[in-house]
Amino acid sequence: MKILIVDDEMFSRENIKEIISSYGGNKFEIIETESSEEALEFCKSFFPQIIFIDIRMPHMDGIELAVRIRQILPSAAIIFVSAYPEKEYLKAALSLRAIRFVEKPIIATELIEAFEEALSQVKEKEEHILSLFSGNRDTLDWIKLAIGTLLSEGGQNSSEIYSLEKIMGADVLRNITAVSIAIKFLKNDVASLSSYLLTLVNSFLNTIQRKKCYENICAFYTLKDHLVFIYLISPKKEIRTSVLISFCNELKDFLETYNLKFLIGVGKIVYDIREINSSSTAALLALEDAYIKKAGYVAFFEERKYVPFPYGEKERIYFFNLLNQKNYEQAKIFVKSLALEIRKRENLRTRDIKLFFFKLIEILDEREAERKLEIYLRILDTTILDELVDIIIEEIDRYRVSALQKYENEYVNKMIEFLNENYSKPELRIEDVSRAVNLSTSYACFLFKKVTGKTIKQYLLELRARKAEELLRGGSEKIKDVSNKVGFRYSDYFTKKFKKITGILPSHIKNKKKR
């Protein structure tokens, strides 16, 4: 079991090391560092399974370090330690899937309790990998997924991988050329879609590997912490760049046919299966550098020399003045123009972009620590710049409505007025309603539900049903004509919704009127 301790205080590091050593004797391999940057390097070479992280450290705080570690070692068990008493602040940090936090000064029993929980988590993950080997060993799909899962652990389980390659009847993992491809999906609950995504990827690989240009390439895959990894391995010759580009473009086109939004990161080519983790890390770095791109972008890893971030206090003051003058729409335009300028620049660090925008909206109001952390984590979790801009726009709207809370009903009344004026249009969308009151769609939906207790869609359907009932009771029009007049394209769908809302069929009203 490998353990990493990251803390800028030497006494604290030694204390944790002594407690763990006393608990487990020589069973654990422990290394320590005072530097967040060095900790990241250890994660790429040492592959720790349990990591202790101090919350407050110079240069890079423990939360940002944990986010970056998750990109390198998604399965590592993280335990926060802190000398600060804001428990609610630290509890919110558990959204990073940390085991727990331990307060300083450290009490041995509390540390051991957290450590035992981490050991249990690591054991569960190992048992999950082993469970793959209880599947149907006669299926190639099972082998591709099993090997992919082992490769995602860093290619260290060499004996098991070698036994699996024998099942395939090919010596695919010695004297090889390999590359990792990482796919990150946007705005999807990947956990609930995991089986679906793996089925899609498997279907793609089964189809594409029938093509002659890929005949010397073996492909394995797995899903790990919101990312799908594909490993391409050629036992005969180097994977040509042109073939790799062709593969990624076909993968992109395939996923887009299913209306999925994603980024693809391609790592560096390696020539030793034990280096597959460095290719995976490079793929993750490629994803990070593609942050300013649009969904569907394929990013190939390249060494970069990053430049200082060009924006700062001047832009923050200008933004603050816009808000102070209640010029909210201009503030939104300013944010979007900043994003546009950032897209044109090369070699900016993604973390600098995220930190700048967090500091930009930090001035919106005096937030509680937990609320600040919530926004900070949301920004850190964004995959592309467009997602970050959406968050900023939403926060501007939230601030505007918060500053003008007494006018909440006025916003909703304007939305209701707009719905009453436009309900008969079949093409009416929720985005049209939010645009009518100059709010982001997400915040307009939130505000409408808060005030009325109903969603905009629900309100619109009920409004259309009510208007339809008035027409049915007061005239001699056909049901089809009534459905068209109240905004339904298809009379069958109208009948179904009308019955669900009113409890009766439109035809019953017509028949009753005739009698």
Alpha carbon of 215 to those of 171, 245, 311, 468: distances in Å?
A: 15, 16, 49, 62
Rounded-to-integer distance, Cα 489 and Cα 426, Å: 6
Q: According to the 3-state scheme, what is the secondary structure of 10-55?
A: HHHHHHHHHHHHHHHCCCCEEEEECCHHHHHHHHHHCCCCEEEEEC
Residue 182: its H or E element: strand 177-185
Tokens at residue 399, please? 């601030």
How much is the pLDDT for 20?
93
Alpha carbon of 80 to those of 5, 97, 225, 486: distances in Å?
A: 10, 11, 20, 57
Rounded-to-integer distance, Cα 124 and Cα 35, Å: 30
Question: Tens digit of pLDDT per residue, the chain (515 long)?
Answer: 889 999 999 999 999 999 999 998 788 999 999 999 999 888 877 778 899 999 888 888 888 888 888 777 767 889 988 876 555 555 555 555 666 778 888 999 999 999 998 888 888 766 655 554 444 444 556 667 766 776 776 555 554 555 445 544 445 455 678 899 999 988 654 544 667 788 888 889 888 877 888 877 888 888 876 789 999 988 766 788 899 999 999 999 999 998 888 999 999 998 877 788 889 889 999 998 899 999 999 999 988 888 999 999 999 999 989 988 889 999 999 999 999 999 998 889 998 999 999 988 877 755 556 677 788 888 888 889 999 999 999 989 888 877 766 667 888 999 999 999 999 999 999 999 999 998 889 889 989 998 899 999 999 999 999 999 888 887 778 888 899 999 998 888 899 989 889 888 888 876 665 55
**Are 190 and 182 in contact, with CB atoms under 8 Å apart?**
no
DSSP 299: E
Rounded-to-integer distance, Cα 435 and Cα 431, Å: 6
Alpha carbon of 400 to those of 267, 351, 417: distances in Å?
A: 43, 27, 21
Rounded-to-integer distance, Cα 30 and Cα 14, Å: 11
3-state helix, strand, coil in the chain (%, to 5): 60, 10, 30
